[in-house]
Amino acid sequence: MQVNTEQRVLAAKQKERARWSIPNSLWSVITLVALILLWQLLTILMNIPAYVLPSPFEILSRFVAEFNTLISHSMTTVIEVLLGFALSLAVGIPLAIAIVYSRYLANSFYPILIAIQCIPMVSIAPILVIWFGYGLTTKVLLACLISFFPIVINSVNGFRALDKDMHDLGRSIGISEWKNFYYLRLPNALPHLFAGFKVGITLAVVGAIVGEFVASERGLGYLQLTANARLDTVMVFTTLLMLAILGMLLFFSVYLLERLVMPWYQANKAGGGK
C-alpha cells in the first residue's frame, strides 16, 4: 500500500512538472527568436547600413517580395542535391559493403578514401568543369563527392557493428551469408546508415552550391553570386535564408524517413530517455 501511494505521488509530481516545463524543441525557437530580436535591435541602435548588415526585417521583406524567384532557383538546386545524394548512396553503400567483406579493400582502398577526403572539394570543381562542362553533371558530381564520405564511413561502421557472437550464431544454425546480412547485419547497421544520410544530405547542399558558384546559370548559388556582384547584401542574406530553410527541410525529410523505417529504434530511444 505504501509503495502504491509513493508511486501515485511520484506520478503526480511528474505530471505537474511536465505541465509547466517547456518542450525541448521549443527552446530552439525561443533562442532563435531572441537572437533575431537582438540582431534587429543592434542594427537600429548602431545605425548599421543595409549594405553592410541588413536587419532581419529587411531580409524577411525581401524574402516575401522575391519569393517566386527564390522558389524557381531553389528547384534547380534541389534537383542537383537530390541527384548528387542519390548517386552518393548508389556508390557509397555498395562500396561500404565491399570494404566490410573484403580484407583487401579494407586494407588498401579505405585509407586511400580517407586521404582523398582531405582534398578540399572546392579545388576539384575547376577540374570537373574542364571534364564535364558547365551543365548539370558538374553540380551533381560535386554534391555526390562532398556527401559521399560520411555515407561510406558511417555505413562501414554500421555494417561492422554486428556482434561477432550473433554473426557466428547465425552461421552455426545454417543461415547463409546473404540472409545473415539481410536479417542481422543490415537492421543492426540502420542507425549508423541514417546518421550518415542526415549528414550527407546537408553536405550535398554545400556541394551543389559550390558547383553553382563555379559553373551555372541558375540555382541559389548563382543567385547569391549575382547579388554579391551587384553589392546587393540584402539579397545575399535572403538567399542564405532560403538555403537554411532548404537544408532543414531536406534534413527533416531524412529524419522522417528514419522514423518510418526504424520505429523500433525510436521507441527504444524514447524508453531509454525515460
Task: Answer yes or no: are the C-beta atoms of 151 and 202 closer than 8 Å.
Answer: no
Closest CA to 210 of 153, 115, 127, 154: 127
Q: Tens digit of pLDDT for each residue in 194-248?
A: 999 999 999 999 989 988 888 778 889 899 999 988 888 999 999 999 999 999 9
Q: Tens digit of pLDDT for each residue in 246-263?
A: 999 999 999 999 888 877
Closest CA to 101 of 174, 189, 173, 172: 189
How many C-beta atoms lie closer than 10 Å to residue 62's C-beta?
A: 20
Q: Domain spans of the chain?
A: 59-273
Give the integer Cα–Cα distance in Å for 152 and 91.
Answer: 9
Q: What angle do CA 126, 118, 89 make, to 5 degrees?
A: 80
Which residues of the chain register pLDDT less than 70? 1-25, 163-176, 264-274
The residue type at 17: R
| Helices vs strands, H then E, count in the chain | 13, 0
User: What pLDDT score does 274 carry?
Assistant: 44
Give the integer Cα–Cα distance in Å for 241 and 64.
Answer: 12
User: What pLDDT score does 166 carry?
Assistant: 62
Closest CA to 235 of 57, 54, 36: 54
The residue type at 260: L
User: What pLDDT score does 62 carry?
Assistant: 92
Query: Please, what CATH class does the domain formed by 59-273 belong to?
Result: mainly alpha
Task: Answer yes or no: are the C-beta atoms of 138 and 223 closer than 8 Å.
Answer: no
